[in-house]
Structure 1
Amino acid sequence: MRTALIVYGGWQGHEPEECAAIYRRWLHEDGFSVRMATDTTAFADPAIHDLSLIIPIFTMSKIAKEEVENLTRAVQGGVGLAGHHGGMSDAFRDAVEYQFMVGGQWVAHPGNIVDYTVDIAKPDDPIMAGIKSFPYTSEQYYMHVDPANEVLATTTFSGEHAPWIEGVVMPVVWKRRHGAGRVFHSTLGHQAKEFEVSEMATILRRGINWAARDEQV
């Protein structure tokens, strides 16, 4: 059986507990054994090296040196890492090792909650299969991203709230490798109600399953 750890906490505006409950339900339905933790000390546990998947939901906050070192080693060794929005890509702002692993860091969301379009960049990828470009209402994340990411979906900034970025095409969903580990991220999902958007939920659920390491023998 594949095994997953969800570590949630940090800034409460992103509803980490509610999002963690959705992930837990999905993972149970998809045949995972799931453990939940509410403190970053869980990342320092040597046992995480035996997991299939880790999902961080911990906007901002701090992570201790031994915690981030153990977490990044686990992913380099083959444990999958996946998650969404600021719970993954605006976590631990002072931990560059963590950002290197994730493949991106949030820096702005001009206009706060806005209407925008999510465009599919790789329709032939299994994570995106059958999904067409769709409208979305949320924070439109402006990211600093790793050019090594395999970008699956993008959004284009109108420039309405920051004229100097008009026309900028920004990654919204990507996957990547970090050592032997698979990493998946979607910037969608400011609050738990956004999981009700079928395209967002389908992409995210497929992505976490893609990232997860196969059952250990």
Structure 2
Amino acid sequence: MREALIVWGGWSGHEPEECAHIIRDMLQEDGFKVYLEHSTEAFADPQIHDLSLIVPIMTMSKIEKEEVKNLSSAIESGVGLAGYHGGTGDAFRDSVDYQFIVGGQWVAHPGNIIDYRVNVTKPDDPIMEGISDFPYTSEQYYMHVDPSNEVLATTTFAGDHAYWIDGVVMPVAWKRKHGKGRVFYSSLGHVAKEFEVPEMATIFRRGANWAAR
């Protein structure tokens, strides 16, 4: 049986505990044995090297050097990592080693909660199969991203809230490798209710299964 670890905490505005329970149920339905932890100390446990998947939900938290070193080593050895929105893409702002794993870092969401569109760029990828471009209401994440990411979906900024980024095409979902490990990330999912959006939930679910060893 595949085993997954969800580590949740950080900024409460992203509803990390509620989202952790949603993802736990999702992964259990897909045949995973799931562990939930509420501290970054879990990343320092040598046993994470035996997992199939790690899901960090830790917006704006701190991670110790030995914790991120062990996490990176686990991913490099083949453990998968999957994450979404700020829980993964805005966790551990002062850890470049962590950002190197994820392949991106949140820097802004001009206009806060707005209506925007998600454009599927890899419709033939199994993660995106059957999903067409769709409207979305949430924070539109502006991110600094790794050019080695394999981008699955994008969004285009209109410039209404920051005129100098008008027309910028920004990755929304990507997959990548970190050593032998697979990494999946989606910027969708500000609060738990967004998992009720079929496209959002499907993209994350498929991405997590793809990433898992």
Q: What TM-score do the two structures reach when normalised by structure 1?
A: 0.98
Runs of 4 or more, structure 1, over 6 Å off, are: none
Q: In structure 2, give the amino acid aligned to 1:34.
A: V
The residue number in structure 1 matching 2:95 is: 95
Please give the residue correspondences for 1:153-172 in structure 2 after superposition, counting only pairs within 5 Å. Answer: 153-172=153-172
Shift of 1:196: 0.3
Q: Aligned runs of 1:194-205 on 2, under 5 Å?
A: 194-205=194-205
SS of 2:131's equivalent in the other structure is coil
Instruction: Name the residue aligned to 1:125.
Output: 125
SS in 2 for 1:135: strand
Residue in 1 that maps onto 2:41: 41
Deviations 1:49-90 (A, max 9, x none): 000000000001100010000000000000000010000010
Aligned match of 1:68: 68
SS of the aligned residue for 1:185 comes to: strand
Counterparts of 1:29 and 1:117, CA distance in 2 = 29
Q: 2-side partners of 1:30 and 1:123: how far apart?
A: 23
- Secondary structure class of the residue paired with 1:31: coil
Task: Specify the SS of the correspondent of 1:194.
Answer: helix
Query: Could you list the per-position Cα deviations for residues 183-217 of structure 1 after superposition, in whole angstroms to 9, with x for gaps in the alignment?
Result: 0000000000000000000100000000000xxxx
Q: Distance between the aligned counterparts of 1:116 and 1:27, measured in 2? A: 28
What does residue 209 of structure 1 align with? 209
Tell me how far apart the structure 2 counterparts of residues 83 and 94 of structure 1 sit (CA, whole Å): 18
1:15 partner letter: E
- RMSD over aligned Cα atoms: 0.3
Q: What SS does the corresponding residue of 1:128 show, helix, strand or coil?
A: coil
Deviations 1:105-153 (Å, cap 9, x if unpaired)? 0000000000000000000000000000000000000000000000000
CA distance in 1, matches of 2:171, 2:149: 9
The number of equivalent residue pairs is 213
Q: When the two structures are superposed, what TM-score results if normalisation uses the length of structure 2?
A: 1.00
Give ranges in structure 1 of 5+ residues lacking alignment. Answer: none
Give the SS at the match of 2:200. helix
**Matched residues in 2 for 1:122 and 1:50: separation?**
31
Distance in 1 of aligned mates of 2:202 and 2:31: 17
Which amino acid in the other structure matches residue 86 of structure 1? Answer: G
Match of 2:134 in 1: 134
Show the counterpart of 1:81. 81
Structure 2: distance between partners of 1:33 and 1:135: 33
| Structure-1 separation of matches of 2:27 and 2:124 | 24
SS at match of 1:49: helix
Equivalents in 2 of 1:189, 1:27: separation in Å?
17
**In 2, Cα distance between equivalents of 1:157 and 1:127:** 24
The alignment-based identity, stated in percent, is 75
What code does the residue aligned with 1:55 have? V
Q: Which residue identity lines up with residue 59 of structure 2 in the other structure? A: T
Tell me how far apart the structure 1 counterparts of residues 208 and 115 of structure 2 sit (CA, whole Å): 26
Tell me the secondary structure at the aligned position of residue 132 of structure 2: coil
- In 1, the alpha carbon distance for the partners of 2:109 and 2:52 equals 32
Aligned-partner residue type, residue 165 of structure 2: I
